[in-house]
Homo-oligomer: A and B are copies of this chain.
Amino acid sequence: MIGFEHISKISRTSPSKIVLLIIDGVGGLPDPKTGKTELESARKPNLDRIAQDSLCGLIDPVSPGITPGSAPGHLAIFGYDPVKYNIGRGVLEALGIDLELKPDDIAARGNFCTVDDKGIITHRRAGRISTDKNTLLCRLLNKITIDGAEISVLPVKEHRFVLILRGEALSPELADSDPQQLGLAPKKIEALSPQAQRTAIIVNEFVSQAGSILQEETRANMVLLRGFSRRPDIPSMPEIYKLKPAAIATYPMYRGLARLVGMQVLPGGESITEQMNSLRRHYADYDFFFVHFKSTDARGEDGDFQAKVQAIEELDNALPSLLSLDPDVLVITGDHSTPATLAMHSWHPVPFMLKSKWCRPDNVTEFSERACLDGGMGRFPATETMSLAMANALKLDKFGA
C-alpha cells in the first residue's frame, strides 16, 4: 500500500462529500438451522439496493485469521496500519470515557481488587463494586500527590478506572502490576527501560498510598494496574487526506478514536434516527462523515442471532434519510465480524460496498458475506478503504509523472 507521505502529497480538498457508515460487527456466520447469516436473514431492501449500484467486496481489518479489537478495526478503515498504530489498553480506556489525552500523558487501566491480610489477591474485580462506589473511591485516590507527576484517577464502570500521569520525562515502558490470577500479590511495577525508572517509582508510590487510603474497605482495598500507554503519535486525517472530518457515534470509545485521528465529534443522540438527523444538520459543514452503528455488535456479542437481524433491519430503515443527502461517495462496511453463533468478535472478513458516480459497479445485488465475494474489489485490506473513497470523490491527484 502507498504510504501517508505519498497520499498527503496527492490529496486535495474539494466540495465532494464522503459518508462512511460503519456497522459494528456486521459480518456473521450461518445459523445452523437455516444456513443463512444474520445479513442473509435480515429484510434490508435499502442495503441491497445500494449494493446493486456499488463496487462490492470483503475487507480484512488486520489480516486473514486475525480477530481485531475495536480500535484496530476502525483505525484500519480510516487508513492506519493497525499493527503500526496499536493503541494501548490504558489509552483505549481513557478514550472510552471521552477523556482528551495530551501527547505525553501516560494512561493505565486500573481495577479495584480485594486482597487478604497477607496482601494476596482474593478477587481481581473487588466483587464488581457499583459504579457509584467506584466514583467515591476515585475521589479519594485523586487526593494523592507525588512529586514529579500530576495524578488523575477517573472512574469507568463497576471496578474499572483510568489512571493518568501528567508530567515531564515520564515513560509508559512499565510492566503491569496485575498478575492476572488469584493467590498472588500485586506485582511491583517494573521499568522496562532505564528511562522509565523514575515513572516506576512514581507509580509504585501511587499504589502504596492507594493501599493505605483503601485499607478500611472490605472489598475494594487494593488496585491493579495494566496497559501503561501513551497516545500514539498518529498523523491526523486532516493532515493526510486534507479532509474536514466529523464523527457521529453514540458510544464514547468510538468518539475517542475519532478524536484521536482528528475528527470533529458531533452530537450523536442515542438512536440511529437521531444520528441521521445529526448528519443532516451538519452536512454542509464537513466533507467526511464517520457514522458508527453499534447495536449489531452488541447483539452479536450477546449471542442473540435474531436480535442482531433486527438491528440490521433497524439500520436499513434509517438509510433513506442518509440516501436523500446523495453523498458523492457512500461507503458501508463493518470494523470486524461478530457472528452471533460465536458471541464474540471474529476474524471473518467483512462485507464492503462503495457507491459513487465513478465506481465501476459489479454484478452484486445483495449486501451479504456470500454475495460480496463476487464483488469488484474481491477480498482486500481494510486499510485501502480511504484511498478508494478519496479516489471516487475525485480528491486524489495522479501519482507519478
Contact of A391 among B30, B347, B386 (CB under 8 A): B347
Asked if B71 contacts A384 (CB within 8 A), the reply is: no
| Stretch among A191-199, A289-297, A356-364 lining the B interface | A356-364
In the bound complex, residues from chain B placing their C-beta under 8 Å from that of A398 are 67-69, 344-345
Asked if B376 contacts A376 (CB within 8 A), the reply is: no
Cα distance A345–B86 when bound, in Å? 36
Closest CB in chain B relative to A345 CB, distance in Å:
6
Cα distance A388–B346 when bound, in Å? 11
Closest CB in chain B relative to A379 CB, distance in Å:
5
Cα distance A119–B370 when bound, in Å? 65
Asked if A373 contacts B374 (CB within 8 A), the reply is: yes
Asked if A401 contacts B63 (CB within 8 A), the reply is: no
State whether the Cβ of A348 lies closer than 8 Å to any Cβ in chain B: yes
Asked if B227 contacts A401 (CB within 8 A), the reply is: yes
Closest CB in chain B relative to A141 CB, distance in Å:
23
Asked if A66 contacts B29 (CB within 8 A), the reply is: no
In the bound complex, residues from chain B placing their C-beta under 8 Å from that of A358 are 29, 342, 346
Cα distance A390–B363 when bound, in Å? 33
Asked if B67 contacts A401 (CB within 8 A), the reply is: no
In the bound complex, residues from chain B placing their C-beta under 8 Å from that of A64 are 377, 380, 384, 387-388
Closest chain B residue to A6, Cβ basis = B83
In the bound complex, residues from chain B placing their C-beta under 8 Å from that of A92 are 401
In the bound complex, residues from chain B placing their C-beta under 8 Å from that of A66 are 2, 10, 387, 391, 396, 399
In the bound complex, residues from chain B placing their C-beta under 8 Å from that of A379 are 377-378, 380
Assuming A63-B2, A83-B2, is B399 touching A68 (CB within 8 A)? Answer: yes
Assuming A370-B363, A379-B377, is B68 touching A400 (CB within 8 A)? Answer: yes
Sorting the interface of chain A by its residue count into under 10, 10 to 19, 20 to 34 or 35 or more gives 35 or more
Cα distance A380–B6 when bound, in Å? 21
Of A62, A392, A398, chain B has the most CB atoms within 10 Å of the CB of A398
Asked if B348 contacts A390 (CB within 8 A), the reply is: no
Closest chain B residue to A3, Cβ basis = B83
State whether the Cβ of A369 lies closer than 8 Å to any Cβ in chain B: yes
Closest CB in chain B relative to A364 CB, distance in Å:
10
State whether the Cβ of A110 lies closer than 8 Å to any Cβ in chain B: no
Closest CB in chain B relative to A156 CB, distance in Å:
13
Contact of A390 among B29, B65, B72 (CB under 8 A): B65
Asked if A400 contacts B87 (CB within 8 A), the reply is: yes
Cα distance A376–B351 when bound, in Å? 12
Bitwise, A26-45 to B at CB < 8 A (1) or not (0) is 00011000000100000000
Asked if B86 contacts A400 (CB within 8 A), the reply is: yes
Cα distance A114–B374 when bound, in Å? 56
Cα distance A66–B389 when bound, in Å? 11
State whether the Cβ of A1 lies closer than 8 Å to any Cβ in chain B: yes
11 CB < 8 A contacts A-B: A30-B360, A63-B384, A64-B387, A65-B396, A66-B387, A66-B396, A67-B397, A69-B401, A72-B399, A347-B396, A362-B370
- Since A37-B360, A363-B370 are in contact, a sample of 6 more A-B pairs with Cβ atoms closer than 8 Å, ordered by chain A residue number, is A2-B62, A64-B384, A65-B387, A347-B391, A373-B374, A378-B378
Q: Which residues of A pack against B, CB within 8 Å? A: 1-3, 6, 10, 29-30, 37, 62-72, 82-83, 86-89, 92, 227, 342, 344-348, 358, 360-363, 369-370, 373-374, 376-380, 384, 386-392, 396-401
